[in-house]
Amino acid sequence: MICIRKPSDSQIREYLAQRRETPFPYTYIHGTKEYDTKPEFEADPRFANYDIDYSKIHLGRGRECFERAVAAMKSWKMFDVDWVDFCFNDVPIAVGNTVAVASKQFGFWALNFCRVVYMIDGPDEDESVIRFGFAYGTLDHLEKGEERFTIEWRRDPNSGDGDVFYELLSFSEPQHWMTQLGYPIARFFQEKFKVDSSNAMLKAVGSTERIKNYNENNNNNNVNTNNNICEYNNNN
């Protein structure tokens, strides 16, 4: 939904109510569950027409950092950026809940609607990695597809310490005529969100570090926590 002015809160709540039963416009519901890395998605012909976006940022270490990051995600702090307004941060992250994201772009407002499709909450089999997160799918949105948000704690079994990460993974393609015609601009804002959302999470956990850009290296299977940028392919 494109607006000259940002709708009022009451209008947005009405729009949300109207879209609670809206079907998803994309095919692969839960598709972000299938793979952990961008190269895996790119190798699957089902996702050949989608843009695959991935980022992973090092937030800190230990249980306290993990718990802060989870609390921040539950309050939707990853949307706490100057050109985005999340509607509304009192909505719990739960399957079936519909949310709206308003973004200001070149003098107009885009109001995009999404619905949570699954949750992530708990350790892997050997309890060395603990994750919290969710994915939502687009509804009435400039793009169509799905995005996964994850907090990951790679816990050291000996010390109880270990690195904490914030990860984004999505597949999408233009749905609105404006994103079809202005595809490079749409991609610019998708890349911008990766950086700004990562910085919002760094701020939320109390880190003073900030990143200016995200550099992917899909051939690097190691974690590099220098300057908080992680070029990482999770093969687990």
Here the CATH number for the domain that contains residue 142 is 3.30.530
In a domain, 94, yes or no: no
Beta bridge partners of residue 84, listed in sequence order: 103
Residue 62, token pair as written in the block: 């230990």
Interatomic CA distance for residues 195 and 158, integer angstroms: 33
CA distance 79 to 127: 29
Given this model, what pLDDT does residue 78 score?
A: 98
Burial status of residue 29 (CB atoms within 10 A of its CB: 0-12, 13-18, 19 or more): middle
Nearest Cα neighbor of 81 from 215, 229, 211 is 211
Is 189:42 a contact under the CB 8 Å cutoff?
no
Rounded CA-CA distance 107/76 in Å is 24
| Residue 167 near residue 152, CB atoms below 8 Å | yes
* pTM of this structure: 0.88
Q: What angle do CA 40, 136, 26 make, to 5 degrees?
A: 70
Q: Residue 215's pLDDT is what?
A: 58
The pLDDT value given to residue 227: 44
Tell me whether residue 235 is exposed, middle or buried, using C-beta atoms within 10 angstroms of its C-beta: 0 to 12, 13 to 18, 19 or more. exposed
- Using alpha carbons only, give the angle 87, 69, 215 rounded to the nearest 5 degrees: 90
Structural domain range at position 125:
25-83+112-228
8 Å CB contact between 217 and 231: yes
Domain count, the chain: 1
**Does residue 5 lie within any of the structural domains?**
no
Helix, strand, coil shares of the chain, percent, nearest 5, are 30, 35, 40
Do residues 227 and 209 lie in contact, with contact meaning Cβ atoms separated by under 8 Å? Answer: yes
| Residue 212 pLDDT | 85
pLDDT of res. 156: 84
Q: DSSP letter at 225?
A: -
Looking at the DSSP assignment, which residues form a beta bridge with residue 130? Answer: 123, 153
Burial degree of 96 (CB within 10 A; 0-12, 13-18, 19+):
exposed
What would the two tokens of residue 226 be? Answer: 């220098």
In a domain, 187, yes or no: yes
* Per-residue b or e along 158-179, where b marks 16 or more CB atoms closer than 10 Å to that residue's CB: eeeebbbbbbbbbbbbbbbebb
pLDDT of residue 51: 95
Given a contact cutoff of 8 angstroms between Cβ atoms, the answer to whether 98 and 14 are in contact is no
Residue 212 counted as domain residue: yes
218 within domain boundaries: yes
Per-residue pLDDT of the chain (236 residues; tens, 9 = 90+): 888 888 999 999 999 999 999 999 999 999 999 999 999 999 999 999 999 999 999 999 999 999 999 999 999 999 999 999 999 989 999 999 999 999 988 788 999 999 999 999 999 887 889 999 999 999 999 899 999 999 999 998 777 799 999 999 999 999 887 777 878 998 999 999 999 999 999 999 999 999 987 654 433 333 344 445 443 333 33
